[in-house]
Amino acid sequence: MERVLKQGFSIDYSYNIYFTEDLFSPQNTLLRDFFKQKRNPDFKQKILFVIDDAVWEKHPELGFKLNVYIKELEDVKLVGPPLILKGGEVCKNDPQALDAIIEAIDQYGVDRHSYVIAIGGGAILDLVGYAAAIAHRGIRHIRIPTTVLSQNDSGVGVKNSVNYKGKKNFLGTFTPAVAVFNDYQFLATLDKRSWLAGISEAIKVALIKDLDFYQWIIDHAEQLPKRDAAAMKELIFRCADLHLEHIRNGDPFELGSSRPLDFGHWSAHKLEQLSNFQVLHGEAVAIGIAIDVVYSYLLGNLQEQEALSVVHLIHQLGLPVYHELLSTVEGKQKLIQGLVEFQEHLGGRLTVVLLEHLGKGKDFHQIDAELVLQAIDFLSEFQAAYNRLDEVS
């Protein structure tokens, strides 16, 4: 006789994304209030900071400010000096970086009542979130994103990961942070590439979900590359809100094969790898969006002028639409191989989001490699035309 025990439960999880300036100023009570709300009356909770080395270098006062701020709090204490790790995609490729975090957690006795706080770009946030998720089966982690891309996309979501066997995000978890603090002050020290790169994720989510937001980006295409702080704050807030709406009402743990927020990403992930991660994620996404937009036009979903307007907007914002790695037959073939890897990452049938029309994404389960090649050639000609204009001017 067969016997079955049926198990089922649901978990109600919520976390806040705070938008602020100068988080560690004594006058800013946001973090202090958070720890007071989450306090344990029986003991002081421990804090381990893990900080992106570029942030540490560009903000030499940060260590002093952290010490002063945390010492004034009654409910938490620092376990030791911050752990400084090299940021960027290199940290997700380096097993020693993960080991260093796990070792610090072990050395300082950081337990499940403690906090691991990551300050840095998306790669550091991914790495630290993964380490916190696997240590003790889950330590509370707080994210303090410091780039446009991490504040409007990767830092506000529920995913953590490292790269493994040459594959991007091969090891990872779905583990939400207990809170995210977007401190706009960190954006002031970003270099030009990092400032611009995060805009691509806003273009992405606007194209597939919100035509009004897409028009807003067009209307502010001159201000954004000029480091207009007010415009960037609005872009980050609206972009983060659209990402959170999808997580909240969509498929937060990606149990299906549809991943709308990966519009433009199948080729972006592969291009990053082919460039040995010299191409920033946001730059690769910009190229990936351009490829998928032109491909959508070649399918007949968009008018040529609509596709050109998107490509022109990406270019106007100072983002790339093409890369020389795609100028050879070998480079193109390797890029298309990214479709296979993308399908493996989904763990099911191939599902790529393309544009049904501007403002609306749609799942497609087949990709015509010849049309992809035509899209790449289209973008190559577009880039060449602008290069000729630059030479004349």
In a domain, 288, yes or no: yes
Whether residue 46 sits in one domain with residue 175: yes
Whether residue 133 sits in one domain with residue 115: yes
**DSSP assignment letter at 156:** G
CATH number, residue 260: 1.20.1090.10
In a domain, 10, yes or no: no
> What is the per-residue pLDDT for 341?
77
Token digits for 292?
């998928």
**DSSP-derived 3-state class of residue 367:** coil
Whether residue 172 sits in one domain with residue 95: yes
**DSSP assignment letter at 157:** S
Instruction: Characterize the bridge pairing of strands 352-357 and 16-20.
Output: unpaired
> What is the per-residue pLDDT for 251?
67
Q: Which amino acid belongs to residue 24? A: F
Q: Domain total for the chain? A: 2
**DSSP-derived 3-state class of residue 161:** strand
Token digits for 83?
């752990």
Whether residue 211 sits in one domain with residue 292: yes
Whether residue 178 sits in one domain with residue 102: yes
Q: For residue 147, with 0-12 CB atoms within 10 Å meaning exposed, 13-18 middle and 19 or more buried, which class applies?
A: buried
Token digits for 275?
């460039």
The Cα–Cα gap between 374 and 383 comes to: 14
CATH number, residue 160: 3.40.50.1970
> What domain range includes position 113?
16-189
Per residue, what are the HEC states of 294-327? HHHHHHCCCCHHHHHHHHHHHHHCCCCCCCHHHC
Whether residue 256 sits in one domain with residue 199: yes
Whether residue 219 sits in one domain with residue 350: yes
The Cα–Cα gap between 157 and 135 comes to: 20
Whether residue 380 sits in one domain with residue 244: yes
In a domain, 28, yes or no: yes
Model's pTM, two decimal places? 0.92
Instruction: Characterize the bridge pairing of strands 76-78 and 115-120.
Output: unpaired
> What is the per-residue pLDDT for 247?
83
In a domain, 9, yes or no: no
User: Tens place of pLDDT for every residue, the chain, 393 residues?
Assistant: 789 999 998 888 899 999 999 999 999 999 999 999 999 888 899 999 999 999 999 999 999 999 999 999 999 999 999 999 999 999 999 999 999 999 999 999 999 999 999 999 999 999 999 999 999 999 999 999 999 999 999 899 999 999 998 888 899 999 999 999 999 999 999 999 999 999 999 999 999 999 999 999 999 999 999 999 999 999 999 999 999 988 887 767 766 545 767 899 999 989 998 999 899 999 999 999 999 999 999 999 999 999 999 999 999 999 999 999 999 999 999 998 888 777 666 566 788 899 999 999 999 888 899 999 999 999 999 998 877 666 545
Q: Which amino acid belongs to residue 38? A: K
In a domain, 215, yes or no: yes
> What is the per-residue pLDDT for 258?
56
Hey, how many other C-beta atoms are within 10 angstroms of the C-beta on 288?
Answer: 25
Q: For residue 58, with 0-12 CB atoms within 10 Å meaning exposed, 13-18 middle and 19 or more buried, which class applies?
A: middle
Element (H, E) at 181: strand 179-183
Q: CA of 366: how far to CAs of 81, 208, 352, 371, in Å?
A: 51, 19, 8, 11
Whether residue 207 sits in one domain with residue 141: no
Where a domain ends, among 155, 189, 223?
189
